[in-house]
Structure 1
């Protein structure tokens, strides 16, 4: 049985350190990418406060396709280059957006989302998925969040 619970009193650095340890424990040796993404979406929901969506989009046939997530129903397919997720997939770079309504071409899957952090998962030089975090708070995400999720994406690159 797993019991990964985030302590709300943790510092940002310590929270992401514990998230990484939990992610490693859950995914090490498990070959099923969907199972790993499902567990990771649950961990993100547990460890990262003030979210309204946490999950994955997978690269399939040149577009992003909805993967495991926690939150409200979401857009199923996103073309590369469209919205925050599509921008991260097309550029291979993290997108930290303080106000999604000011982002050109933002795709509003959930009207409650105000800020977003999207980190590409890169394997052998190619984006294979993106980790998407949405918050109902403007400017919710900071560089510490981006760095923590980038470390998680690096860990997961060979596991999803």
Structure 2
């Protein structure tokens, strides 16, 4: 039950910090800061934006330096973008095609929006 309350709390906070602001980049920047601040043991929280037909480009984030461009279908983020499905990878070192932008990353959750 605690996960639901944490989720609800973060959704409520996201709504509060984005209400009345129409700028996508500003909103994504604040949301990434909120997520990074609210969860322990993460080293990155942020967004990749679709650019062109099949490429992700780094957007607002908090945390360690990240890859700037990721083709659809490559790495966890690229697979999520290509399949339009949530990816929850417990051990990225066992993920076929993992892109090691940061050696400290061991797990990833990627949600296409």
Report the TM-score, using the length of structure 1 for normalisation.
0.68
SS of the equivalent of 1:70 reads strand
Mapping of residues 61-72 of structure 1, within 5 Å: 61-62=52-53, 63-72=55-64
2:88 counterpart of 1:96: yes
| Deviation per residue, 1:4-34 (Å, 9 max, x gap) | xxxxxx9222111110000001112211000
| Ranges in structure 1 where 5+ consecutive residues have no aligned partner | 1-9, 122-160
> Alpha carbon RMSD of aligned pairs, Å?
1.1
Whole-Å separation in 2 of the counterparts to 1:49 and 1:120 = 22
Which residue in 1 is equivalent to 2:75? Answer: 83
Which residue in 2 is equivalent to 1:14? Answer: 5
SS of the equivalent of 1:44 reads helix
2:71 counterpart of 1:50: no
| Ranges in structure 2 where 5+ consecutive residues have no aligned partner | none
Aligned residues: 112
| Deviation per residue, 1:99-158 (Å, 9 max, x gap) | 00000000011101000000000xxxxxxxxxxxxxxxxxxxxxxxxxxxxxxxxxxxxx
Mapping of residues 17-32 of structure 1, within 5 Å: 17-32=8-23
Whole-Å separation in 1 of the counterparts to 2:3 and 2:40 = 10
Whole-Å separation in 2 of the counterparts to 1:48 and 1:80 = 27
Report the TM-score, using the length of structure 2 for normalisation.
0.95
